[in-house]
Amino acid sequence: MKKFINYIKECYTELVEKVSWPTWKELQSSAIVVSIASLIIAIVVYMMDKSFEVLLENFYRIF
């Protein structure tokens, strides 16, 4: 039990003293970057899906 309590204390110390937390402004800008990147990836995947759908429809229509 003593090891567990020591582990919790060390975790708390590391989180409070050693971790550098981002500022609110940095957090907002990172969230915007991630949102825009996710939107671009979603659009690319949607376009690929639609193009393969058209391609396969034409292919099946031939046979």
Residue 5: pLDDT band by 50, 70, 90 thresholds?
A: very high
Give me the mean pLDDT over the 21-41 stretch: 97
φ, ψ of residue 21 in degrees (nearest 5): -85, 140
Write out the two tokens for 56: 């396969």
Question: Mean of the per-residue pLDDT values for the chain?
Answer: 96
Give me the mean pLDDT over the 34-63 stretch: 97
- Look at residue 63 and tell me whether its pLDDT is greater than 90: no
Question: pTM for the complete prediction?
Answer: 0.67
Domain ranges, ordered by start, for the chain: 22-63
Torsion of CA 16, 22, 23, 25, to 10 degrees: -160
